[in-house]
Amino acid sequence: MTGAPKLVVDGVGKAFSTRTGDLRALKGIDLSVFPGEFVTLVGPSGSGKTTLLNIIAGLEEPDEGRVLVDSRPVRGPGPDRVVMFQEAALFPWLTVRANVEFGLAMRGTPRRERRERSTAYLRMVRLDAFAEARVHELSGGMRQRVALVRALVLDPDVLLMDEPFASLDAESRDALAHELEHLWDQLHMTVVFVSHHVHEGVRLADRVIAFGQRPGRILAEYPVDRPRPRGADDEALAALARTIEARFTADVRAEQASEPARAQ
């Protein structure tokens, strides 16, 4: 892609202290994400994907390197970045509409504008008829759609998504992936999406970033040039997912082969 990147990760490293010593979560991560690009981070558990997402969000600080959004250093959470987590984390005592409007209310957005924006976004995901419903009245997939709308209504520069469909069944995951792709196409937003489900990551992304085992590092990048909208049964996407999974297997085998040598 051409032009200036929206997001730059420059030499980011991170370690955590444990009872058995320092645990290196990330090492030398360099990544640029361009405006309107959908980038997916995939990799095995413990490869540092979520840690990197938290650093981009400003929820954690890197030990090395830096993160820039529009050339400005990230020094903490900010309205230019919104995170959607694995759990919907909706407030059960509020209606669907009040949940969607919560962030806007915290920003001091006038009531009339909050109502207009929440109505428009709920209509995009066909939940406007449930605006006054309570959370317990919704299915798991509907709750995640509300959580997605709650993030999008804030109009962030970068939407950060940490395995938001992981708790859903296969049918709901497929429906939400289709919904997200449609919204992304409408809103032209910049997305960084973390997933351990490689096929899901490939289906959604313009570019897939494959992470290796700890310490988390980028093994390879894979552009995805299939036309949209994409279906879960696209064989070309499935073939690319198998290629990435094979790369993970090769990384694990290389790591296992090196362990005896390090032990000597």
Residue 131 in domain: yes
Q: How far is CA 64 from CA 11, 26, 192, 195, 223, in A?
A: 7, 9, 21, 24, 27
Residue 56 in domain: yes
CA distance 226 to 40: 15
Residue 117 in domain: yes
109 Cα distance to chain centroid = 26
The tens place of each residue's pLDDT in the chain, 264 residues long, gives 668 999 999 999 999 887 777 788 999 999 999 999 999 999 988 889 999 999 999 999 999 999 999 999 999 999 999 999 888 789 999 999 999 999 999 999 999 999 999 999 999 999 999 999 999 999 988 999 999 999 999 999 999 999 988 888 888 888 889 889 989 988 989 999 999 899 999 999 999 999 998 788 999 999 999 999 888 889 999 999 999 999 998 887 887 777 655 554
Same domain, 225 and 103: no
Residue ending a domain, choose from 130, 156, 182: 156
CA distance 136 to 139: 8
Residue 238, both tokens: 């499935």
Residue 136, both tokens: 């317990």
Q: What are phi and psi of 223, to 5 degrees?
A: -70, 145
pLDDT digits (tens, 9 = 90+) for 66-119: 999 999 999 999 999 999 988 878 999 999 999 999 999 999 999 999 999 999
Q: Report CA dihedral (132, 136, 140, 142) to the nearest 10 degrees.
A: -10
For the chain, first and last CA: distance in Å? Answer: 46
Q: Domain containing 178: what range? A: 1-70+158-247
Domains held by the chain: number: 2
Same domain, 124 and 183: no
